[in-house]
A and B are shown apart, each in its own frame.
Chain A
Amino acid sequence: MSLRFGSRRVRGRIIWRPTACSNGSKTSSKVPPAWQTARAVASTPTAEKVLFPGALNSEFTNTLKFLTPSTNKAIPTYRVMDQSGRVLDKEVGVDTGEEEALALYKNMVCLSIMDLLMFEAQRQGRLSFYMVSAGEEGIAVGSASALSPADVIFCQYRESGVYMQRGFTLDDFMNQLFSNRKDAGLGRNMPVHYGSKKLNIHTISSTLATQIPHTAGAAYALKLQNMQQPDVPPRIAVCYFGEGAASEGDFHAALNIAATRQVPAIFICRNNGYAISTPTSDQYRGDGIASRGAGYGIDTLRVDGNDIFAVRRATKEARRLALENGGKPVLIEMMAYRVGHHSTSDDSFAYRQRVEVEDWKRRDNPITRLRKWLEGRNLWDEDKERELRSRQRKEILAAFDRAEKEKKPAIKHAFEDVWEHMTEEQKMHVEELKDILHRYPKEYDVEQHEGGVASLDELLQPKR
């Protein structure tokens, strides 16, 4: 996935320059045994105090006092502008130019219109599945805009805005949703499981939280590559996940391993109040996800996810921190509300009040908040809004039609890419399938697939 460091061998270069790290490889030929590096001060009968190796900085106390999280003040939520689009600290401003703000606004609007149309298309049976980003457009679009295009991203599934902001085209979206022959995933994944090598975004998988340790590992690879190529701008890995996924063991494993290996990564949690039907009160009892960061020794921030300026500034600063001293992980919890249903397979009014959703839509939303800011600076008005919405709608529908008309991927793609090369067993299976398709032609619709049955023959050609 990396732009500059793929599967080629970098030959004859010394990578491992001595680093600031206490156990550099070049400086000493022997690593001291573990009991010497992580040793506590020996306790002798006359010693002033002992230092337990598990918590070297802990002072002794003779007061018996349990830590009670409930008495702590909740971690504050960082914001740059209020709900009516007024900037709170004029001194600091928003560090987003007007052109850029307009571009961000248009992307969020485009995403929300695509969501409405595709949700409807699924309801009409033209797509098998869809998931909207309503209420979370600011998190995806804002954070993606604050990263370098070379940074590697791992998503959960409600981050279509990340793809859009990075340059995933409407055609790319539609080809994936329709599983047609132009889909990069070759029709193998459910809708919304986008991926793009060109944009450095890994393909989405349905399994929750599995991408969080992947991010730690990828960030470690980037850390080594950053060391190897000091002339190339350093890169980080970024991970998105919901507050529900943060209950998975993989979240714990990943943040811990990211901290011990000091990897340049940003973990962005979208806390939107629900995991399908489960409210956060059934998900955790601590102070959200942010309160967990400190436990792993990770710099953490909680941000208002409906404030795109706050999202952007937090992400930029996190990126700077993540690259400090070669790397360290950063956790950002972005607060939001899941305005839409969980997916097209969910009717959220079975577990929450319609009025609550309407309330959120009316009171606070990343798109309207940015629009208010734009209007406050005379950059936007009702006419521009109408024009933008009708143009976006037309473009999306045109892409929709194009994608729907395309053929499905060739049947051979059912078998390819499981291993690097076809196995003997697979070739036997291809033969059997071919035989069935030939003898029962009326039972299968092969013609909607590119190349029909003949595509299977390509798999049986001996490799040259």
Chain B
Amino acid sequence: MAARTPSIRALSRYLLRPRPFLHPRCQHQSQSKRYSAAAAGARLNGTVEYDTTPLLHHTSPSALSNPELPEDVRKGQTKRINLYTAINEALRHALQTDERVLVFGEDIQFGGVFRCTMNLAADFGTERVFNTPLTEQGLVGFAIGAASEGMRPVAEIQFADYVFPAFDQIVNEAAKYRYRTGTTGVHCGGLVIRMPTGVVGHGALYHSQSPEALFSHTPGLRVVIPRSPIQAKGLLLSSIRANDPVIFMEPKVLYRAAVEQVPVLPYYLPLDKADVLKTGTDVTIISYGTPLYTCSAAIAAAEKDFGCSVELIDLRTIYPWDRATVLGSVRKTGRAIVVHESMMNAGVGAEVAATIQERAFLRLEAPVKRVTGWATHTGLIFEKFIIPDVTRVYDAIKKTIDY
């Protein structure tokens, strides 16, 4: 080896310094801050503060005051953890208590590219926690087969953007298995398919998508998107326990960002209930996953500026979804806004808005507003213009109230 010049060495040291990684398939420089940070003079954008947001439980008593938690959990301890650790704890508990649970996918064994499966292979053995070849259709098909023979597989798709090779297996097989087998009673309901979803600041076309609407157009599937560590743990445990195939989508930008006090004991949250995060009287905002934080920040600004009162609902389960809670809220407020990252046309918002106009028609004071990603792809440098931000939700509240 020829000796390198000092300047080259310094440059290599600079380039090779430890950085938060994005993804082994796509190791370009992570510059999330530079791409998605707010403008210097921004008053609305860039105000999503995860360490103070009211959507996360920053103290143990507030975490344990959740009425959905069972009595023994509410008397127990909490631990301050982020979302990927909550996922990891749910998987750990499932593996510990039910020997039919298997966890597998691409790069699972060393802990996963988002750390969700850290130490599981070491603690439960590589018969139950293992890497699969790099084939989404193969590993989902494998999971369906294992579930049809009594296992409860939790398969991971590395990014929701890469679920499409498995689309046939999910839509034509997993969703229809129980229906087509009729009285034989065979089903693949033990199946859960986890996938990181949503924008992350610098994910561009293939690390940013939110394909939940595609799955919610398929009878037989459940689609679940948690907003926080507490929700992730409880909803994932319920998904693994449920006897229907569940598509479990984890907002990847929250993996590290969302940190809260999470009950140490296992608990199960309902898969058919929306969650009213904040009550209000003038307008209802319906959302799920990451945009809830955007909505919360926008609501804080709007309530201060316009003196209005906004109700915020987390759908939690995208399909089958809790129509009663949403309709009850809209009948009270008379106005509704739906917010999601994926594009508007035929998105989840379309279904929610259509349901509202059909069943709360006489109570509506304004058209149902949808704040969504535009009809384009998530171009790397343009994410901040494409995905709903605080400004757009703030403006939607203004327009809906002034209608």
A interface list, Cβ under 8 A from B: 1-2, 5-7, 9-10, 13, 15-16, 19, 21, 23-26, 29-31, 33-34, 152, 154, 183-186, 188-189, 193, 195-197, 202-203, 205, 207, 210, 212-222, 224-225, 227, 237, 249-250, 252-254, 256-257, 260-261, 413, 417-420, 423-425
Quick check: B109 and A217 within 8 Å, CB to CB?
A: no
Known: A188-B180, A210-B168, A419-B244. A203 touches B150 (CB 8 A): no
Bound-state Cα–Cα, A234 to B124, Å? 23
Choice from B180, B219, B243 contacting A189 with Cβ under 8 Å: B180
Known: A197-B186, A202-B186, A417-B182. A218 touches B146 (CB 8 A): yes
B54-103 contacts to A, CB under 8 A, are 98-100
Quick check: A31 and B189 within 8 Å, CB to CB?
A: no
Bound-state Cα–Cα, A29 to B126, Å? 11
Quick check: B110 and A34 within 8 Å, CB to CB?
A: yes
Q: Does B173 contact A (CB under 8 A)?
A: yes
Bound-state Cα–Cα, A212 to B395, Å? 52
Indicate with 1 or 0, residue by residue over B129-163, a CB within 8 angstroms of chain A CB atoms: 01011010111111111111111010000000000
* Chain A residue nearest to B139 in the complex (CB): A257
What 10 pairs across the A-B complex have the smallest Cβ distances?
A25-B125, A213-B141, A253-B138, A217-B145, A214-B145, A221-B149, A197-B184, A217-B142, A217-B146, A218-B145
Q: Does B240 contact A (CB under 8 A)?
A: no
Known: A188-B182, A207-B168, A417-B178. A253 touches B137 (CB 8 A): yes
Quick check: B130 and A210 within 8 Å, CB to CB?
A: no
* Chain A residue nearest to B221 in the complex (CB): A419
Indicate the size class of the contact surface on chain B. 35 or more
- With a CB–CB cut-off of 8 A, which chain B residues contact A30? 122
Bound-state Cα–Cα, A45 to B332, Å? 77
Quick check: B320 and A424 within 8 Å, CB to CB?
A: yes
Quick check: B138 and A254 within 8 Å, CB to CB?
A: yes
Bound-state Cα–Cα, A425 to B132, Å? 37
Bound-state Cα–Cα, A149 to B172, Å? 28
CB contacts between A and B, total, < 8 Å? 206
- With a CB–CB cut-off of 8 A, which chain B residues contact A237? 145, 149
Bound-state Cα–Cα, A29 to B125, Å? 9
Choice from A207, A222, A225, A261 contacting B172 with Cβ under 8 Å: A207
Choice from B122, B173, B222 contacting A214 with Cβ under 8 Å: B173
Bound-state Cα–Cα, A425 to B326, Å? 14
Query: Could you give 19 example pairs across A and B, Cβ below 8 Å?
Result: A23-B125, A25-B126, A26-B125, A31-B109, A185-B180, A186-B183, A202-B148, A202-B181, A202-B186, A205-B180, A207-B172, A213-B141, A217-B143, A217-B147, A217-B149, A253-B141, A254-B141, A257-B139, A418-B219
Bound-state Cα–Cα, A205 to B181, Å? 10
Bound-state Cα–Cα, A289 to B182, Å? 34
Choice from B137, B138, B140, B189 contacting A420 with Cβ under 8 Å: B189
Q: Does B165 contact A (CB under 8 A)?
A: yes
Q: Does B185 contact A (CB under 8 A)?
A: yes
**Main DSSP-derived SS at the A contact region:** loop
* Chain A residue nearest to B173 in the complex (CB): A210
Bound-state Cα–Cα, A29 to B119, Å? 10
Q: Does B323 contact A (CB under 8 A)?
A: yes
Quick check: B180 and A203 within 8 Å, CB to CB?
A: yes
Quick check: B172 and A220 within 8 Å, CB to CB?
A: no
- With a CB–CB cut-off of 8 A, which chain B residues contact A188? 179-180, 182
Quick check: A221 and B220 within 8 Å, CB to CB?
A: no
**CB of A34, distance to nearest CB on chain B (Å):** 5
B interface list, Cβ under 8 A from A: 98-100, 109-110, 121-128, 130, 132-133, 135, 137-151, 153, 165, 168-169, 172-173, 176, 178-187, 189, 219-220, 222, 242-244, 272, 320, 323-324
Bound-state Cα–Cα, A154 to B139, Å? 17
A221-B151, A249-B165 provided; 19 other pairs, C-beta below 8 A?
A7-B243, A13-B99, A25-B125, A31-B109, A31-B126, A184-B182, A185-B181, A185-B182, A197-B185, A207-B173, A210-B173, A213-B141, A218-B145, A220-B151, A221-B150, A417-B179, A419-B220, A420-B178, A420-B244
Quick check: B220 and A418 within 8 Å, CB to CB?
A: yes
Choice from B100, B142, B165 contacting A220 with Cβ under 8 Å: B142
Quick check: A249 and B137 within 8 Å, CB to CB?
A: yes
Quick check: B182 and A257 within 8 Å, CB to CB?
A: no
- With a CB–CB cut-off of 8 A, which chain B residues contact A254? 138, 141-142
- With a CB–CB cut-off of 8 A, which chain B residues contact A419? 178, 219-220, 222, 244, 320
Quick check: A213 and B137 within 8 Å, CB to CB?
A: yes
* Chain A residue nearest to B147 in the complex (CB): A217
- With a CB–CB cut-off of 8 A, which chain B residues contact A212? 141
- With a CB–CB cut-off of 8 A, which chain B residues contact A193? 180
- With a CB–CB cut-off of 8 A, which chain B residues contact A221? 145-146, 149-151
Most chain A beta carbons < 10 A, residue from B100, B126, B184, B242: B184
Known: A184-B182, A221-B150. A25 touches B141 (CB 8 A): no
- With a CB–CB cut-off of 8 A, which chain A residues contact B128? 16, 25
**CB of B238, distance to nearest CB on chain A (Å):** 13
- With a CB–CB cut-off of 8 A, which chain A residues contact B272? 423
Quick check: A213 and B145 within 8 Å, CB to CB?
A: yes
- With a CB–CB cut-off of 8 A, which chain A residues contact B138? 213, 216, 250, 252-254, 256-257
Choice from B99, B122, B146 contacting A15 with Cβ under 8 Å: B99
Bound-state Cα–Cα, A183 to B243, Å? 24
**CB of A420, distance to nearest CB on chain B (Å):** 4
**CB of B179, distance to nearest CB on chain A (Å):** 5
- With a CB–CB cut-off of 8 A, which chain A residues contact B137? 213, 249-250, 253
Bound-state Cα–Cα, A184 to B182, Å? 6
**CB of B205, distance to nearest CB on chain A (Å):** 22
Quick check: B125 and A16 within 8 Å, CB to CB?
A: yes
Quick check: B181 and A195 within 8 Å, CB to CB?
A: yes
Quick check: A1 and B149 within 8 Å, CB to CB?
A: yes
- With a CB–CB cut-off of 8 A, which chain B residues contact A207? 168, 172-173
- With a CB–CB cut-off of 8 A, which chain B residues contact A185? 180-183
Most chain B beta carbons < 10 A, residue from A13, A214, A219: A214
Quick check: B244 and A25 within 8 Å, CB to CB?
A: no
- With a CB–CB cut-off of 8 A, which chain A residues contact B181? 184-185, 195, 197, 202-203, 417
Known: A195-B181, A417-B178. A5 touches B150 (CB 8 A): yes
Known: A188-B180, A425-B323. A257 touches B142 (CB 8 A): yes
- With a CB–CB cut-off of 8 A, which chain A residues contact B169? 210, 213, 250
* Chain A residue nearest to B144 in the complex (CB): A214
Quick check: B186 and A203 within 8 Å, CB to CB?
A: yes
* Chain B residue nearest to A217 in the complex (CB): B145
Quick check: B145 and A33 within 8 Å, CB to CB?
A: no
**CB of B108, distance to nearest CB on chain A (Å):** 11
- With a CB–CB cut-off of 8 A, which chain B residues contact A13? 99
Choice from A26, A203, A418 contacting B184 with Cβ under 8 Å: A203
Most chain A beta carbons < 10 A, residue from B110, B130, B142, B168: B142
